Amino acid sequence: MREALVDVGAIARNVEALRNGENAMVIVKANGYGHGAVESARAALEGGASWLGVVDLDEALELRNAGITAPVLAWIHDPATDFAEAVSRDIDLGVNYVGQLEQIAASEGRANVQVKLDTGLGRNGVPEGEWQAFFARAAAMEADGSIRVRGLFSHLSSAGSAVDQQHLARFSSAIEQARAAGLDPEHIHLTATGGTLQLPAGHFTMVRIGIGAYGLTPFEQGETVPVPLTPAMQVSASVVNVKRVAAGAGLSYGHTYVAERDTTVALVPLGYFDGMPRHASNAAPVSINGETYRVSGRIAMDQFIVDVGDASVAVGDRAIVFGDPADGVPTANDWAAAADTINYEIVTRIGPRVVRRYER
């Protein structure tokens, strides 16, 4: 009934186009941005990715337990995390402060770490004022064999902006300081999809590809992506009820939509539990039988209504919420605009009742 059809071939092609022959880490966190982590990871590797990126160890272990042996980096850790399994299963650990480095080094075996640096985003990462001391401590630990510093990385705030030139300058300074402390990191990465496309000077030894792998733009509405991308997910559901209502009838909670004339309404079993943002009520587009309509009334937890006028719509017809615009259907960007959010949120919110099905 509710389905997210994911084209893994599109993910592979998107990765190949975006990395453009460069060494690339593809991010499959948050269940592969809602597309399915394991399937997205395999498609990314098919497209030439050499690394996979996730947020935490649970996500990393999901890949390992699925038989994926490619290099994996996980970079956010609960302070109660036991790093022993990560070390034993060859998962690189992002490190953000000295105490975390000490905790990882205490695990049995030699841990591979990549140092996250705060170059101006203000989130995770070693602050600039602590770099010199941190690198000195990391070099000492590497010398005693408890860790291996395999990488340095940071994250931009808004790819292509003047602010990101400052990020780039700080990151370049950090690399010099790390090397001066005796570290020789193999993997140095800064840019996500947007920076990969707009900031070539920030590519270093590896680029990171996130939202672009799934065929979606990281840019503001109207900005052009300079490589061809194919949205990999189509979300749809069967129409489960159709009825005629009279002019003046109110639809859904609060009657924020009132029929202007006698009309037909179709009920679609997708709601905010399934990832349809309530803020998109009365605004988001839906395609049924090749025609595009609007959500009519408030989106509820499990369903929304579409006023289809006098069109011939029947129970069992497919309502496509978003997909590839080449198919003449609405996009995740359209839903993002309707909800005043970003396409990242639209695809990652798709809930567990929506069955993922994979094709190529």
Residues 254 and 201 in one domain: no
3-state secondary structure of 301: coil
Residue type, 69: T
8 Å CB contact between 325 and 284: no
- 161 domain-assigned: yes
Q: Is residue 227 part of a domain?
A: no
Residue 137 in domain: yes
Residues 127 and 249 in one domain: no
Regarding whether 148 and 243 lie in a shared domain, the answer is no
**pTM, whole model, 2 decimals?**
0.96
CATH code, 140:
3.20.20.10
Domain annotation covers residue 222: no
Domain end: 182, 214, 246, which one?
Answer: 214
Closest of 37, 30, 80, 79 to residue 55, by C-alpha: 30
Q: What is the amino acid identity at position 263? A: T
Catalytic residue among 214, 253, 344, 358: 253
219 lies in a domain? no
**Whether residue 116 lies in the annotated active site:** no
Q: What is the pLDDT of residue 160?
A: 58
pLDDT, residue 298, reads 98
Q: What is the share, in percent, of the chain residues with pLDDT greater than 70?
A: 98
> Does residue 14 carry a pLDDT above 70?
yes
- Asked if residue 355 and residue 252 are part of one domain, the reply reads yes
Average pLDDT, the chain: 96
Is there a single domain that holds both residue 108 and residue 135?
yes
> Do 253 and 183 share a structural domain?
no
Active site residue 29: yes
Question: Looking at the structure, do residues 181 and 87 belong to the same domain, yes or no?
Answer: yes
- Domain co-membership, 261 together with 305: yes
pLDDT classification of 159: cutoffs 50, 70, 90: low
* Residue pLDDT, tens place only, 84-135: 999 999 999 999 999 999 999 999 899 999 999 999 999 999 999 999 999 9
Q: What is the CATH number of the domain that holds 313?
A: 2.40.37.10
192 in Cβ contact with 199 (< 8 Å): no
Counting the structural domains of the chain, the total is: 2
Q: Is residue 1 part of a domain?
A: no
Domain containing residue 312: 233-359
Residue 158 lies in a domain: yes
How many CB atoms are closer than 10 A to CB 190?
27
Residue 27: which H helix or E strand, with range? strand 24-27
Which whole number is the average pLDDT over 327-347?
97
Q: Kindly indicate the confidence band of residue 226, based on its pLDDT and cuts at 50, 70 and 90.
A: confident
d(CA 156, CA 204) in angstroms, rounded, equals 14
Judgement on whether residues 175 and 274 belong to the same structural domain of the protein: no
Exposed/middle/buried for 211, CB within 10 Å: 0-12, 13-18, 19+?
buried
| Residue 122 and residue 43 share a domain | yes
Determine how β-strand 147-153 pairs with β-strand 187-189. Answer: parallel
Q: Could you say which DSSP state residue 198 is in?
A: H
The two counts, helices (H) then strands (E), for the chain are 11, 19
The answer to whether residues 270 and 350 belong to one domain is yes
Residues 295 and 189 reside in one and the same domain: no
Mark which of 161, 179, 214 sits at the end of a domain.
214
Is 221 part of any domain? no
**Per-residue CA distances from 63 to 13, 27, 158, 287 (Å):** 21, 12, 29, 35
Q: Assess contact for 209 and 40: CB atoms under 8 A.
A: no
The pLDDT, as a whole number, for residue 108 is: 87
Of 214, 245, 278, which residue constitutes the final position of a domain?
A: 214
Out of 29, 214, 344, 358, pick the active-site residue: 29
Beta-ladder partners of 292: 287
If residue 155 lies in a helix (H) or strand (E), which one and from where to where? none
